[in-house]
């Protein structure tokens, strides 16, 4: 390979997009946390450990409440909550929005069906879902969904900016835990 081709290949690699996240792998122990959350417009606490005592948990991170994709994703989770409950799972959405915003979002877009919690920068880092824009870390989480089995291990992970497959794939993973 000539020097010119090597330099060209290096230049191309510099402009190619790099993965935004390197989410936690299947089988890893999920970081346990507590946080402020909102359900049906009211503030409440959320404890992953307490939720896992009842069954598997769908923990989904989204970038920002009231944006188009995040609103549609919340609507889709809300529409499918009976299926998640039938499979024994609970769902919580996480973003770095403030609690006042999450209270409104829980009512208007989550349709009072599931909780949304405050994802601190430390929690976003712990779950390895830091959203990258133009190669720089933002304060927001990437759109990443985890299914956490009752033993606290990651059973499934899906990271994709397109919200459309998160509900279907997490529900499928929760049902697989029942088998």
Contacts of 90 (CB under 8 A, 6+ apart): 51, 54, 55, 56, 57, 58, 84, 114
47-61, 121-135, 142-156, 159-173: which range is least confident on average?
Answer: 121-135
The answer to whether 160 touches 170, Cβ cutoff 8 Å, is no
Domain ranges of the chain: 34-178
| Superfamily covering domain 34-178 | Glutaredoxin (3.40.30.10)
The answer to whether 79 touches 112, Cβ cutoff 8 Å, is no
pTM as predicted = 0.85
10 is catalytic: no
Using the structure block, give the residue that is written with the tokens 């792998």.
25
pLDDT in tens, 98-156: 999 999 999 999 999 999 999 999 999 999 998 877 777 767 789 999 999 999 999 99
Residue 8 has pLDDT above 60, yes or no: no
**Catalytic option among 65, 70, 91, 149:** 70
pLDDT in tens, 11-26: 433 333 333 446 899 9
Contacts of 104 (CB under 8 A, 6+ apart): 41, 65, 66
Q: Which of 46, 61, 106 is nearest to 81 (CA)?
A: 106
């Amino acid at each position: 390979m000539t020097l010119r081709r090597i330099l060209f290949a290096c230049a191309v690699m510099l402009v190619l997009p790099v993965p935004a996240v390197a989410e936690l792998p299947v089988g890893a122990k999920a970081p346990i946390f507590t946080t402020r959350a909102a359900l049906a417009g009211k503030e409440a606490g959320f404890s992953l450990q307490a939720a896992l005592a009842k069954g598997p948990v769908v923990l989904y991170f989204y970038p920002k409440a009231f944006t188009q994709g995040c609103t549609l994703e919340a609507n889709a989770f809300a529409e499918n909550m009976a299926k998640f409950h039938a499979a024994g799972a609970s769902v919580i959405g996480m973003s770095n929005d403030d609690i006042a915003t999450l209270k409104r979002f829980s009512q208007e877009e989550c349709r009072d069906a599931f909780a949304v919690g405050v994802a601190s920068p430390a929690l976003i880092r712990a779950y390895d879902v830091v959203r990258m824009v133009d190669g720089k870390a933002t304060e927001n989480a990437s759109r990443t969904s985890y299914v956490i089995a009752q033993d606290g291990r990651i059973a499934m992970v899906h990271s994709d900016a397109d919200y459309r497959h998160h509900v279907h794939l997490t529900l499928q993973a929760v049902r697989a835990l029942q088998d």
